Structure 1
């Protein structure tokens, strides 16, 4: 069983958790570390060996080693179940049911979702340029236990009842990975839909006030782009706020091939930045500097 799990491509596993490479150099993929917050990309995946190394932490290994770091677990069977739950690869799906029932519990125990109130989580989103009133109106707060230790994170629900989880030190998902669909529904059906890669970009758009009156779809990973298609049918305009990287451009091309001129690339707004949130943070930083200079 371990051999089959280890054969899962690390890039596939990371993609299912919402992490896409920022660069490819030969057989090496470079990421912003999934284990910590960073601006540069210092997390490497060697695709031929299917191994990883985080230069910031000075640690690396195989897919099970990575899961151990991400979920803070040491039980190998339990980690294999975590990987199987996160990565819908047919080979893994045949492995997962063979575990004894006691190993079928989710990796996160005592999972509870409450209104977003924790000051540390609100502060984290504020550091990302999201004001408290938008954060608390659109996000929840998740509390959970992993291996006897308690954690909390900002939570954002998807259409399958899963939760995207974020805090300063962790980026992951509880439950099935899927898109989030948010109808505007204030003055009847909308003719417009905005598409984002992650919910932080969606919150950024709300902060900037650029999607008023439009429905929204958050992919939560570019691998979910095909799942968005049934929801996008029928819109007169589809505004794409995807990342300015290879994965984002590929997703835009796939959607444009289906919807043609209905698909509008809005990334020109933040063409000098990787994504909409990075643009927002820079804008907020500049405004704060100007405000302080005028005092």
Structure 2
């Protein structure tokens, strides 16, 4: 089998042959529990028409050959082609890839968690270095202290809908307790016409800082609800909140993961999705725009 022949093989059919079935199919997009890692919410997408896959959990994708490199853990194209050919010929011997062993995370070792109003001078100084308005940060964020391997630490904490916190300080970025999206409604019990979607809470704080400064070129005029994904790996969870809005404004990163996420939203919700990333095309994200730190061009 050569490269040209391999690229003609349906990724959906190949996954079926090695033991993977889609959890959901919508608008020509097949959603799977990722064959590359353990997960409970499907975030591995295959576009059958284009012959492409994308895994939101690792922010990588491509054609069947690229998938084979990940599945069989090799960059040797000849070896990948050999495995694809073998599996295509062995239809009666469907085998699932062994699940990855997950190492113990840093968060598992955190103890003595204490949440309080945001006020530590070191954290406020960090926010100022990111040009984020302190008053806005104190409105939407908390301060969390914890013990890790007998040492005391603290960080900015942004709550999500499952009772967990996205946490960040100058040296650490992660999640404590449950990983999930964050939803902020303008008015309790009332859905607005517009919702703005952000990849991380620093982008949201940057947006609100620009809004307070009167930046109408970037910000949506009027009342909005907000969804912070806290990771593009939360794409499936994000979809559950968006269908009720007349306009979905996406302020995601200017990278492949952000692009693929917006493409998925468009595939699900059509013209209601507005990709706002073009307004800061010279920057990686909204915080870089706030910092006036343009992307380096090669």
TM-score interval, normalised by the smaller of the two chains: 0.5 to 0.7
Q: Quote the Cα distance in structure 1 between the aligned partners of 2:112 and 2:36.
A: 30
Q: Partner of 1:113: helix, strand, or coil? A: strand
Q: Quote the Cα distance in structure 1 between the aligned partners of 2:274 and 2:110.
A: 39
| Partner of residue 289 from structure 2, selected from 279, 288, 292 | 279
Question: What residue in structure 2 maps to residue 261 of structure 1?
Answer: 271
Q: Quote the Cα distance in structure 2 between the aligned partners of 1:176 and 1:110.
A: 16
Q: Quote the Cα distance in structure 2 between the aligned partners of 1:170 and 1:148.
A: 17
Superposed CA RMSD: 3.3
Q: Residues 23 and 256 (structure 1 numbering): CA distance in 2 closer, same or farther, change over 3 Å?
A: closer
Q: Partner of 2:132: helix, strand, or coil? A: coil
Question: What residue in structure 2 maps to residue 208 of structure 1?
Answer: 210
Question: What residue in structure 2 maps to residue 237 of structure 1?
Answer: 247
Q: Quote the Cα distance in structure 1 between the aligned partners of 2:280 and 2:139.
A: 25
Q: Quote the offset at 1:225 in angstroms.
A: 0.9
| Partner of residue 107 from structure 1, selected from 102, 106, 109 | 109
Matches within 5 A, 1:75-154: 80-82=103-105, 106-154=108-156
Q: Residues 178 and 236 (structure 1 numbering): CA distance in 2 closer, same or farther, change over 3 Å?
A: same
| Partner of residue 219 from structure 1, selected from 226, 229, 243 | 229
Kept in 2, the 8 Å contact 1:180–1:220? The answer is yes
Kept in 2, the 8 Å contact 1:164–1:172? The answer is yes
Q: Residues 148 and 254 (structure 1 numbering): CA distance in 2 closer, same or farther, change over 3 Å?
A: same
Q: Partner of 2:109: helix, strand, or coil? A: coil
Q: Quote the Cα distance in structure 2 between the aligned partners of 1:233 and 1:120.
A: 40
Find the structure with the greater CA-based Rg.
Answer: 2
Kept in 2, the 8 Å contact 1:22–1:245? The answer is no
Q: Partner of 1:264: helix, strand, or coil? A: strand
Question: What residue in structure 2 maps to residue 190 of structure 1?
Answer: 192
Q: Quote the Cα distance in structure 2 between the aligned partners of 1:10 and 1:190.
A: 37
- Unmatched 5+ stretches in structure 1: 1-7, 28-46, 51-78, 87-105, 284-295
Q: Quote the Cα distance in structure 1 between the aligned partners of 2:60 and 2:238.
A: 23
Q: TM-score, normalised by structure 2?
A: 0.61
Q: Partner of 1:280: helix, strand, or coil? A: helix
* Number of matched pairs: 205
- Where is the helix percentage greater, Structure 1 or Structure 2? 1
Q: Quote the Cα distance in structure 2 between the aligned partners of 1:169 and 1:252.
A: 29
Question: What residue in structure 2 maps to residue 5 of structure 1?
Answer: none
Kept in 2, the 8 Å contact 1:179–1:227? The answer is yes
Q: Quote the Cα distance in structure 2 between the aligned partners of 1:126 and 1:274.
A: 19
Q: Quote the offset at 1:268 in angstroms.
A: 1.3
Q: Quote the Cα distance in structure 1 between the aligned partners of 2:37 and 2:269.
A: 32
Q: Partner of 1:164: helix, strand, or coil? A: strand
Q: Partner of 1:205: helix, strand, or coil? A: helix
Q: Deviations over 1:266-286 (max 9, x none)?
A: 011111111111111118xxx
Q: Quote the offset at 1:48 in angstroms.
A: 3.6
Q: TM-score, normalised by structure 1?
A: 0.62
